[in-house]
Structure 1
Amino acid sequence: MTITTNSLVPQDGQDWLKSAARAGYAARGLVFLIVGYFSFRAAFASGEAMDTKDAIEVIAGSVFGTILLVAMVVALAAFSAWRLIQVLMDVDNHGTGAKGVFVRGGLLVSAFSYGALAFYAASLVIGLGSGGGEGGGGGAISAGYEAGFGIWLTYLIAAGMAGAAIAHFIKGAKAGFEKYMDIPEARRRILKPVCQFGLLARGVTFMVLAGLLATGAAEYSSGDTPGLDAALSEISGWSFGWLFLSLTGLGLIAFGVYCVAEAIYRRINMPDVPGVD
């Protein structure tokens, strides 16, 4: 049977891989729904903005926390593996041009980020978890400072964050996600603007984080680099910060909805896997 890039690979043996990828999108969505909710609430209360690790801790503290954490570990690990498939197999046909390499580079960073988040969730399951934020490459930056090139590495990561922000702005403004999703028309009218808003809000957090990294590059020798929670806290300190933070919180909730929509409607084009029929 001929396999096209616009259709799912019709191999029943690969269904579990596709299901794992969808579970990963759903897990990412749950994390950002939690982060967005608490960010929105922090805008009107004395609470603090949280990051993705904080969201995992919220899940751990819920009813059936251990069961949910184990599910998150599996789902986030699956999402990380799916990102690697997207990078290595180029199942979405991004190509090897400058734009394609940039997109695939971003997917690679995402693979490592969510792999680290899965590891963190696993550490909570076995009782080894410790607090910490979703950093802008904190471990790498700390090692870079020890090697003597930490400032330049920080600037490089900040540039990557700014690039990711621009990519989210473009993807949100042009609704570029639609070419990878099959959303029914009746739901598209609602989901499209919600997904666009979510991508734009996520772009804002990336841009603020890039600014924090760049302006504080000389001060991170301790490895205490800012993460998503720091970006949200920075937003809360702006003039009318409560308004911007509440909008960003709603936007991150919308980004969570976007991730869940991907879990349901995204086309998962799996490559041929040796030994899978």
Structure 2
Amino acid sequence: MDWTLSGRRHSPSRRTSSSRYGRSRTYRERRSGTRRRGGARRVAGAGAIDGLARAGFVARGVVYIVIGILAVLVALGFGRHDLDRAGALTAIADEPFGELLLWLLVIGFVGLTLWRAVRAVDSAESGGHRLLDAVRAVVYAIAAWSTYQFLAHGRTPTTSDDSAHDVSARLLHTDGGRVLMIVLSLAVIAVGIAIVVRAIGKRFAERLRTGWMTYRTRDLVLRLGQAGHIARGVIVGAFGVFALQAALSDTPGRSKGLDATLRSFAQTSFGPLVLVLVALGLIAFGLYSFAEARWRRTLGGVPR
């Protein structure tokens, strides 16, 4: 018989669905939350890293949900904040208990930084994945620091559009920078397409303990994950398209950050509808991040 930790028996259909996203594990592996792969050793301080990382997933989810809500308001004609992390921080600060929530976001971003750094130096993944983890660690470290600066000194982070313009201008004004920017733009477009393809195939579910969920919960989490990853893939692909246009025209101002990219969706022939759909996708990804905080798999005691 196949029993869950709660003592309930899985139905045959649930066992089949669960095996689709990962092999069954022993009772001890479920209790410890780890699955040894390739002789992975348990990382020192894994419990603290695990807790901080899961707090980070929640922090990431909050930011995505806030940006998604702000985007919906813009589509309806009521928006007044930038549609990026800077705008999200400002919007949160205006709410009751906003300062407390921002401090929790700082802790969450620090947790994500530490988690990605540990994965970069002690991971069973390939060298490419470890490099990507190192880059993400830097990104989250910047997010943590800028959020702290906003709280402690009132310094609003640089908007995503200004950052995109500055990076584009520096590249285009250096020898070989235009070629490099074209190559990077094509790579970003490819990444966006890959994210969408993975979302359609539900590849993200490989990182989740789907066998621990009820059938309805698993179905909901997978749908949120699909919608959220597709929205992110579309946005990343749009980043690449705008950067490519800037490189080909030698005009840094044509590159766009998250704010301008989201607003551009409202300027399509379908009007604000496209922006609303993408915004709902961002909200879905935020909710999916909450699910990751609870059900993300671990390896060596650290979330995979």
Q: TM-score range by the shorter chain?
A: 0.7 to 0.9
Q: Which residue of 1 aligns with 2:7?
A: none
Contact 2:49 2:114 in 1 (8 A): no
Q: Which residue of 2 aligns with 1:219?
A: 251
Q: Which residue of 1 aligns with 2:105?
A: 72
Aligned length: 263
Structure 1 regions of 5+ residues with no counterpart?
Answer: 273-277
Q: Which residue of 2 aligns with 1:114?
A: 140
Pair 1:17-2:46 in alignment: no
| Secondary structure of 2:153 counterpart | coil
Pair 1:267-2:285 in alignment: no
Contact 1:7 1:269 in 2 (8 A): no
| Secondary structure of 1:216 counterpart | helix
Query: How far apart are the structure 1 equivalents of 2:64 and 2:168?
Result: 25
Per-residue deviation, 1:74:
1.7
User: Residues 7-44 of structure 1: CA distance to partner in whole angstroms, max 9, x if unpaired?
Assistant: 99767942111000111111111100011111122212
Per-residue deviation, 1:104:
4.3
User: Residues 32-90 of structure 1: CA distance to partner in whole angstroms, max 9, x if unpaired?
Assistant: 00111111222122426611221122222222222222221121122122123233323
Query: How far apart are the structure 1 equivalents of 2:41 and 2:141?
Result: 25
| 1:163 counterpart (176, 181, 190) | 190
Contact 2:35 2:298 in 1 (8 A): no
Contact 1:39 1:50 in 2 (8 A): yes
Contact 2:35 2:300 in 1 (8 A): no
| 1:34 counterpart (55, 66, 73) | 66
Query: How far apart are the structure 1 equivalents of 2:50 and 2:41?
Result: 10
Contact 1:26 1:259 in 2 (8 A): yes
Relative to structure 1, the CA distance from residue 215 to residue 13 in structure 2 (aligned partners, 3 Å threshold; closer, same or farther) is: closer
Query: How far apart are the structure 1 equivalents of 2:240 and 2:296?
Result: 29
Query: How far apart are the structure 2 equivalents of 1:168 and 1:193?
Result: 15
Larger Rg: 2
| Secondary structure of 1:54 counterpart | helix
Query: How far apart are the structure 1 equivalents of 2:243 and 2:262?
Result: 14
Contact 2:265 2:275 in 1 (8 A): yes
Q: How does 1:33-112 map to 2 (within 5 A)?
A: 33-47=65-79, 50-91=83-124, 93=125, 95-96=126-127, 101=128, 103-112=129-138
Relative to structure 1, the CA distance from residue 23 to residue 207 in structure 2 (aligned partners, 3 Å threshold; closer, same or farther) is: same
Pair 1:130-2:162 in alignment: no
* Structure with more relative contact order (C-alpha pairs < 8 Å, separation 6 or more): 1
Amino acid at match of 2:37: T
Query: How far apart are the structure 2 equivalents of 1:7 and 1:67?
Result: 41
Pair 1:5-2:31 in alignment: no
User: Residues 78-124 of structure 1: CA distance to partner in whole angstroms, max 9, x if unpaired?
Assistant: 21221232333234x3x24xxxx2x4444443332222221210110
Q: Which residue of 1 aligns with 2:214?
A: 185
- TM-score (ref. length: structure 1): 0.83
Over aligned residue pairs, what C-alpha RMSD do you find?
3.0
User: Residues 172-196 of structure 1: CA distance to partner in whole angstroms, max 9, x if unpaired?
Assistant: 1111111111130330011111210
Contact 1:165 1:203 in 2 (8 A): yes
Amino acid at match of 1:236: A
Query: How far apart are the structure 2 equivalents of 1:127 and 1:204?
Result: 35
Query: How far apart are the structure 2 equivalents of 1:114 and 1:241?
Result: 33
| 2:258 counterpart (228, 235, 253) | 228
Contact 1:164 1:206 in 2 (8 A): yes
| Secondary structure of 1:234 counterpart | helix
